[in-house]
Amino acid sequence: MPSEIDPAELLTAYADGIAEITPEDRRRVDAALAAAPGLRDEHAAIAGVLDQLRALPGEGGEPDWAAMERSIRAAVGAEVPRPWWRRWQWLAPATTLVTAMAVLVVVMWTRELATVARPRPVAPAPSKLEPVAAVDDVVALWLDGAEVDIDVGKAAAFAALEPAEDDAAPDDSLLPIDDLAIVDRLDADGLARAEHWLAAAEPRKGLK
């Protein structure tokens, strides 16, 4: 691809190193030289100046190259420097190891903390409290227009009187304290039997 440079500006590069000019630029300079005689004179003048420049002797007196080579060899040393990352290449496995150990320590420490924080199951201490005396489980019920005190302790009797409706009842031998409406559901026969049973029972806490 030809450059945008004026062929005249490439003239010195053309005169000094035609091999380093792209073929397109070379054609452009050739065309310019063919078209302009003045450019051909300039080309010749440039070549002359370049010859003069190249004929200039180097500055200063050249040193003893062998001695300089020896001094450079001594200054450089025998050890070839390794890339910085090779000097630090031990760092990767070491970091991995340290990290793994740190993670392990943290995990173990966390587990230990969890173990300490969790309440250990403790066997319930035997209660030293004196057994509380049974409360007088007498419940007042309104029964057939009159207040009746019922001894809850006699619940078993009611359970026996009530037909089992729910097999899933946890314990049908006890009178459900929270549902004494059972008494209201007793029919006349059941009620009579209950009164009879209560009257026959030892009058400790029964009907008064």
Partner 1 sequence: MTAADPDLELAERVRAGERAAFDVLVRRHQKGMWRLIRRYVKSDADAADITQLAFVRAFRGLTGFRGTATVRSWLYRIAINCALSWLRDHRREQPAEIAEEALVDDNPAPAALAAGDDRARLRKAIAQLPPKQKLVLELRVFDDLSFREVAELADCSENTAKVNFHYAVKRLRDILGGEHAL
Question: Which residues lie below 8 Å from residue 191, measured CB to CB, with a gap of 6+?
Answer: 144
What's the CA gap between 160 and 168, in Å, rounded? 16
Contact 159, 172 (CB under 8 A): yes
Interacting positions 82-111 with partner 1 (CB under 8 A)? 82-84
Contact 147, 141 (CB under 8 A): yes
Q: CB 46 → partner 1: shortest distance, Å?
A: 6
* 157 scored as a contact of partner 1 (CB under 8 A): no
Site string for partner 1, 49-88 (x = CB under 8 A): xx-xxx-xxxxxxxx-x--xx-xxx-xx-xxxxxxx----
Chosen residue from 36, 46, 174, 180 binding partner 1 by CB under 8 A: 46
Q: CB 37 → partner 1: shortest distance, Å?
A: 18
Contact 139, 178 (CB under 8 A): no
- Return the amino acid letter for 205: K
The DSSP H or E segment spanning 63 is: none
Give the binding site for partner 1 (CB under 8 A): 3, 5, 9-13, 16-17, 20-21, 45-46, 49-50, 52-54, 56-63, 65, 68-69, 71-73, 75-76, 78-84
